[in-house]
Amino acid sequence: RAKTLGKSRVQLFHREMRRSAITRLTLEADLRRAFANGEFVLHYQPIVSLASHEVVGFEALVRWQRPDGVLVYPGDFIPVVEDTGLIVALGFWILREACVTARAWQEAYPRETPLTVSVNISPRQFAEPDLVPQVRRIVEETGIDPHTLRLEITESITIGDADREVSMLSQLKALGIRLSIDDFGTGYSSLSYLHRLPLDVLKIDRSFVSAMDKSAESFQIVNAIMNLARNLGMDVVAEGTEVEGQIARLRSMGCDFGQGYYFSRPVDRAGAARLLEGAQHWKPPT
């Protein structure tokens, strides 16, 4: 009896493994087809000056617009796209699309300081040997001013070959591109290592910003990160600013920029244009 029970458990296990392997293979195939069919779209979330409440730029965020009408968020497909290597081709498409769009906005909505566009670069993309020449080509072909382009990297790129990372980032900087460290505070990079990287912008992870009001500890962490950024001469963007009360607190700590649902969720291209036309729902600061 025990034997048959054991056997059926093993069969169940195998069945489940097979099912998840099939799901996975189907998803991989679907994602390749989606890319070939042009089903990926970019949404844009404004980055806003906490002092003036002006939109200073946007972060491009990819979505999969399935033909059945379902919008799939990156958390549900980026890991698969990363594993299969499709992220490399998709990533270059995202960069090109974001640059073309940003250039159009910069022309349609000229500012003293031109609008910026931020694009996420995943660890797998960062490992790509010809990342730098490809980025250079996209910048040249789209005609975007590289000073207005920000590439967002996470601390998880900083676990490989440190010399290569510094060299790659320096080459991107030499093109005139700005670099942001994304989700800061969630990784394990040492401060001395961070200091070696030519970074311009630090984005404080949403988890600290959202916990700031409830826990003194998170407040202290945000404060410490602000001091670190100031000492390294970096601009700071607070991620996940959701409620008005956070804005004044962040400003008092010296944080200049915010990105979050308080200002806007990520919106499509037309929605972003409406924000640039001044149709924001949020009030200017008093």
Residues that bind Mg ion (CB under 5 A): 120, 152, 182-183, 239
Q: Which residue lies nearer to ligand C2E by CB, 120 or 148?
A: 120
Residue 47 beta carbon to ligand C2E: minimum distance, rounded to whole angstroms:
10
| Backbone phi, psi, residue 141, to 5° | -70, -30
Stretch that binds ligand C2E, among 59-67, 103-111, 220-228, 229-237 (CB under 6 A): 59-67
Q: Of these, 34, 56, 61, 250, which contacts ligand C2E (CB under 6 A)?
A: 61
d(C-alpha 146, C-alpha 116), whole Å: 9
Q: Which of 156, 193, 198 is nearest to 174 (CA)?
A: 198
| Backbone phi, psi, residue 44, to 5° | -130, 130
Q: Which of 202, 247, 207, 199 is nearest to 225 (CA)?
A: 202
Q: Which does 139 bind (CB under 5 to 8 A by kind): Mg ion, ligand C2E, none?
A: none
d(C-alpha 220, C-alpha 199), whole Å: 23
The residues in 124-163 that bind ligand C2E, with binding defined as CB under 6 A, are: 152
Other beta carbons less than 10 A from residue 197's beta carbon: 20
> In the chain, where does DSSP find H-type helix?
2-36, 78-84, 86-108, 123-126, 131-142, 162-174, 191-196, 206-211, 216-231, 244-252, 269-276
Q: Which residue lies nearer to ligand C2E by CB, 182 or 235?
A: 182
d(C-alpha 223, C-alpha 26), whole Å: 46
Q: What angle do CA 153, 157, 160 make, to 5 degrees?
A: 160
d(C-alpha 250, C-alpha 109), whole Å: 28
Residue 14 beta carbon to ligand C2E: minimum distance, rounded to whole angstroms:
33
Q: Which does 78 bind (CB under 5 to 8 A by kind): Mg ion, ligand C2E, none?
A: ligand C2E
Per-position x/- string for 203-232, each x denoting binding to ligand C2E as judged by CB under 6 A, each - no binding: ---x--------------------------
Q: Of these, 75, 129, 143, 233, which contacts ligand C2E (CB under 6 A)?
A: 75
Q: Which residue lies nearer to ligand C2E by CB, 165 or 182?
A: 182
Residue type, 184: F
User: Which residue has the CB atom at the shortest distance from ligand C2E?
Assistant: 260
Residue 23 beta carbon to Mg ion: minimum distance, rounded to whole angstroms:
26
Dmax of the chain from CA atoms? 79
Q: Of these, 97, 155, 182, 235, which contacts ligand C2E (CB under 6 A)?
A: 182
d(C-alpha 216, C-alpha 212), whole Å: 7
Q: Which residue lies nearer to Mg ion by CB, 5 or 177?
A: 177
Task: For residue 25, give the DSSP letter.
Answer: H
Residue 49 beta carbon to ligand C2E: minimum distance, rounded to whole angstroms:
16
Q: Of these, 30, 54, 183, 256, which contacts ligand C2E (CB under 6 A)?
A: 183
Per-position x/- string for 246-265, each x denoting binding to ligand C2E as judged by CB under 6 A, each - no binding: -------------xxx----
DSSP assignment of 270-284 equals HHHHHHHTT--SSPP
Q: Enumerate binding residues for ligand C2E (CB under 6 A).
A: 45, 60-62, 73-75, 78, 91, 94, 120, 122, 152, 182-183, 206, 240, 242, 259-261, 266
